[in-house]
Each structure stands twice: as structure tokens, then as C-alpha cells.
Chain A
Amino acid sequence: MEYTQGIIKDTIKETPEFIHPNEYEQASRSYLMAVVAVIAGLPFPIINLFASIGYYLAHRKSSYFIRWHCIQATIGQALLIPFNSVAVAWTLGVIFGGRGFFGITEIPKRYFADNATIFDDYSGATLYYWLYITFIILLNCTEFIVVIYTSSRVKKGENIRWFGIASLTDRLCSKEDRNPYKL
């Protein structure tokens, strides 16, 4: 009987998947979607997410690299939705709240009351509100910069992984090769 001393090491090495340079550009565009969609739907926080999802759906059959970056961009946008939605809802509440149906059935106080200022009509705009709006603006500006930076790096062929989101993307993105045109 044969006897082998020691541990037999697995000699099969995983060969890195070849990524065509053309795919770098397609992957980098997934991040640009969120930035460009701002033109169409700035007041609505969910528009960027729709743009990212649309781009992903169009690339369902693309390579793993493209799909992975599409999903990372989409999750990144989805994480911002709750923060931005609260900001939009709060702002609408400040503008229309406490003044009748959508704020149009009651005449604003500043038009008839003595010594009434614009602040009396928009009393909901408290310090907390302005602090939150400042936080939201900073958050969105940071996201904007991070997205543009990621897009430019991915275009050069680097695999940028966002903290926390990347590991979730690994789990969500299927490793199945969906390319119908392979030799």
C-alpha cells in the first residue's frame, strides 16, 4: 500500500478572470448613472435609485465585474433613500404644515397680522431642522464625490470596494457566467 507523508497540497490554482478593458467603462458608468440622474429628478430622492436599477437591469447578462459594480452602486443609492426621504418629508411639512389643506386654504399670517414675519408662517423650521438639512447636504455632497472618484478609478481598472456595502454585494451578486457568446 502506498503511503504519503505529510499533507497533500491542492496544486490547482484559481486563474484570475479576464476582464476586457471595455468592461471597465461599462462598470464605471453604473456609478455615473446616479450622478447624471440628478438632472432629471433633483427634488425626489428616489430617482437616482431608479436610474441605478435601470442600468443594472440592462446589464443582467453582462459579466460578473459589471454586474458587481452595478449592484454596489445601487445599494449605495438605496442606503441614502431613508435620509433623503425624511429630509423631503420634513421640508414639505415645514412649508405646508399647520396652514390648512396643503397650506393653500389659509392665508399666511404675514399678510394680515401685525408684526408677523415669514418665520411665523414657517414655524416648523427649527434648529433641529436646519441641522438635519445641513447633515443631508454634507452627506449627499460626500456621496457625490465618492461616486465620481469610484467611477474614475473603476474606469482605470481598479476594483473599488465600499466599506460594508462590498461584502453585501459579494453575497447578492451571482457568480454565474451569463455571457451567451463564449467560445
Chain B
Amino acid sequence: MDAQKVDMYLMTNAKFFQAQHLNYIREKLLATDDSKWIMIQSVELKDPTTILIVSILAGGFGIDRFLVGDTGLGVAKLLTCGGLGVWTIVDWFLIMDIARQKNMEKLQVFLS
């Protein structure tokens, strides 16, 4: 893929991924075929900041876990009232990285 295109993609979407993975994404995108560009652009990425706000406001009900796609853990968190408050607090610190991780997994499908 064209280097200019890849850099533009990274400039726009860097906040959706973990900083230590950006180099990996760049190298993989450069090696990816141009035909996948449309698909890569159309991948819906979750905003970690939005997820954090949801986690702070409705973390006790496991809504944040449902949003990032962890349905099983979301149900568990809902039934235990956010792990009696402890899980909710732990997730305030974890959820942004989890959202970035999930974004990476979504993108990984299209990387060569």
C-alpha cells in the first residue's frame, strides 16, 4: 500500500490503537494489497474515550463490556453488580486499553 495513504490512516486513527502497536500497523499496512484499502477504511473503530465515559457512568451494569464486545463478561458484570464495585473500579483503568485491543483485533483481520 502507498506510504502516504498509510501515514494518513495512522494520523487519523492513531488514538484508536495502543501506541506500541502503531509501528506494527504501519509495517503491515505497507505490505497489504491496495484492494483491501476500502475494507480497512470501513472498519468501525470504537473510541476509547467514549467507552471510558460509559464505564464511569454505567460500569456497574457492565454496559462498557457490552460495548467493547465482551458479552459474556458484560452479563457476569451485570449479575454481580459490577463485581460488588471492585470490577467496576478495575475496569475504569482497563477499559481504554481493552477498547484499543479490540480495535486492533478488528483491523488485524484485514492486515496481511
Contacts and interface: CB of A to CB of B under 8 A. Distances in A.
Interface of A: 20-23, 26, 29, 32-33, 36-37, 39-41, 47, 50-51, 54-55, 58, 181-183
Given A22-B18, A29-B93, A41-B84, 13 more contacts: A20-B19, A21-B19, A23-B20, A33-B93, A37-B90, A39-B89, A47-B86, A51-B90, A54-B86, A55-B93, A58-B98, A181-B104, A181-B108
B87 interface: yes
Contacts of A20: 19-20
19 contacts: A22-B20, A32-B93, A37-B86, A37-B90, A40-B89, A41-B84, A41-B85, A50-B83, A51-B86, A51-B89, A54-B83, A54-B86, A54-B90, A58-B94, A58-B98, A181-B24, A181-B104, A182-B24, A183-B23
Nearest to B18: A22
Interface in B16-58: 18-21, 23-24, 27
Contacts of A33: 90, 93
A55 B97 CA distance: 12
A51 B93 CA distance: 11
Interface string B69-112: 00000000000000111111110011001100000100010000
Nearest to A36: B89
Contacts of B88: 40
Contacts of B108: 181
B27 to A, nearest CB: 6
Contacts of A23: 20
A182 B94 CA distance: 22
A13 B30 CA distance: 32
Interface of B: 18-21, 23-24, 27, 83-90, 93-94, 97-98, 104, 108
A53 to B, nearest CB: 9
Contacts of B85: 39-41
A58 to B, nearest CB: 5
A183 B27 contact: yes
Contacts of B89: 36-37, 39-40, 51
Contacts of A47: 86
Contacts of A182: 24
Nearest to A61: B101
A95 B46 CA distance: 51
